[in-house]
Amino acid sequence: MSEDGVQRIKNDIVMFKKNLEKLLSTLSSEPRAELKRIVELATRYYEDARFYLERGDVLTAFGCINYAHGLLDAVRIELGLWDVEDEE
């Protein structure tokens, strides 16, 4: 993968972290169990993306960070927090 591709993954990792922090700040103290589980899975994919990127497996890192974004977006949509205007 090109250096541009690696930078894209790094940017996606940073964007995921920002979106996760924003989501967690708006969640009630005890979100529904199924939503909490999905956020946990998204976070694991985010951590996997960082792990694989550090080891030079950029294709797996790319897949992981995209799964993480998709899961987090699903929670945001379910909670009515999806705002296309607010997206980076």
User: What are the structural domains, with CATH classification, of the chain?
Assistant: 3-24+31-86 (1.20.1270.90)
pLDDT band with cut points at 50, 70 and 90 for residue 78 = confident
Q: Which two tokens stand for residue 75?
A: 């929670």
What is residue 85's predicted lDDT score, i.e. its pLDDT? 54
Which segments of 1-88 does DSSP mark as H helices, in order?
A: 3-26, 33-54, 58-78
15-67: pLDDT as tens digits: 999 999 988 888 766 667 888 899 999 999 999 999 999 999 999 999 999 99
In whole angstroms, what is the distance from residue 72 CA to residue 29 CA?
A: 18
